[in-house]
C-alpha cells in the first residue's frame, strides 16, 4: 500500500456529507393550521414562518409538499434574520431543491447564517472553499470558517481543520490536538485519520500495529474505508 494522502482522506470521508446537515426538523408544533398561518402571514412571526416553510418542505403535519411555498416562507423568515431559514435556503440553492442550483445564492445565505454564528453554515462554507468546485479553492477562507465551526465543537470542521493542519509540518501539534475530541468520542473518521498518520510515519512515529488498530476500530464502528485499509496491512 502506497503512502496515504491526507487530502484524499478529507475528500472521501468528509466532503460527501458536507451539505447534508439540515435543521428542517427543528419545528415548533402547531396543532391548528389557521393559527400557524396567522402567526406567519399576519403577525409576521419569523419562527412561525420557518415552521410553515418546513411543513411545506417535508409535506408534514397536514401540508402537501410544495418547495415553492417552502422557499417563500423561508425567505420571509430569513429577511427577519432567522438564521435557520437562512441556512435552509442555502441548502435548497446548494442542492437544487425546488430551485435551480445557484451556488452564489447558496453562499450568500450560508454567509448570512454563518455571520450569526450558525455552526452548520460555517461548516458548509468551509467545505465549499476547501473543495473548490463551485468557487475557486481558497484555503484561507476554508480555514477561517472551519475554525469558527470547530471552536463551537462541530466535529466535521474539527476533522477537516485537523487534516489541513496535518499537511504542514509546523502545524502538526495543532492538528493532533484537534483530533483528540473526535478520538475520545470514538469517531470512525478520526480513527481512520489517526491510522493514516501511523501508517505514513511523518506526523507520528511509523507504527503499523497502531495503524491497523485504528483502522480496525473504524471498521468496527461502521466505516468501510477502515475495513479496506486494515485488509491492506499484512
Residues 66 and 167 reside in one and the same domain: yes
Give residue 120's pLDDT: 95
Give residue 16's pLDDT: 43
CA distance linking residue 192 with residue 214, whole number of Å: 6
Flag whether 178 is in a domain: no
Give residue 34's pLDDT: 85
Residues 165 and 206 reside in one and the same domain: no
Cβ atoms of 9 and 215 closer than 8 Å: no
Domain assignment of residue 208, given as a range? 186-234
**pTM for this entry:** 0.85
Give residue 7's pLDDT: 54
Residues 209 and 110 reside in one and the same domain: no
Instruction: State the residue for C-alpha cell 476500530.
Output: 217
Residues 165 and 197 reside in one and the same domain: no
Q: Which residues of the chain have pLDDT under 50?
A: 11-20
CA distances from 77 to 10, 22, 53, 59, 89 (A): 34, 16, 9, 19, 10
Give residue 233's pLDDT: 87
Amino acid at each position: 500500500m502506497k503512502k496515504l494522502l491526507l487530502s484524499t482522506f478529507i475528500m472521501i470521508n468528509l466532503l460527501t456529507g458536507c451539505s447534508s446537515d439540515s435543521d428542517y426538523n427543528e419545528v415548533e408544533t402547531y396543532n391548528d393550521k389557521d393559527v400557524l398561518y396567522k402567526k406567519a402571514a399576519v403577525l409576521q412571526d419569523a419562527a412561525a414562518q420557518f415552521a410553515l416553510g418546513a411543513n411545506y418542505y417535508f409535506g408534514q403535519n397536514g401540508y402537501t409538499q410544495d418547495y415553492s411555498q417552502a422557499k417563500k416562507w423561508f425567505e420571509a423568515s430569513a429577511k427577519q434574520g432567522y438564521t435557520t431559514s437562512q441556512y435552509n435556503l442555502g441548502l435548497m440553492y446548494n442542492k437544487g431543491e425546488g430551485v435551480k442550483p445557484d451556488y452564489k445564492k447558496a453562499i450568500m445565505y450560508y454567509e448570512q447564517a454563518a455571520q450569526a454564528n450558525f455552526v452548520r453554515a460555517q461548516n458548509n462554507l468551509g467545505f465549499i472553499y476547501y473543495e473548490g468546485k463551485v468557487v475557486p479553492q481558497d484555503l484561507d477562507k476554508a480555514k477561517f470558517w472551519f475554525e469558527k465551526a470547530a471552536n463551537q465543537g462541530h466535529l466535521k470542521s474539527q476533522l477537516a481543520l485537523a487534516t489541513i493542519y496535518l499537511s504542514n509540518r509546523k502545524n502538526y501539534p495543532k492538528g493532533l490536538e484537534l483530533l483528540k475530541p473526535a478520538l475520545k468520542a470514538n469517531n470512525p473518521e478520526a480513527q481512520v485519520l489517526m491510522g493514516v498518520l501511523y501508517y505514513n510515519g511523518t506526523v507520528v512515529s511509523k507504527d503499523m500495529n497502531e495503524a491497523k488498530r485504528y483502522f480496525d476500530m473504524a471498521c468496527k464502528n461502521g466505516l468501510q474505508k477502515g475495513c479496506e485499509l486494515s485488509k491492506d496491512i499484512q
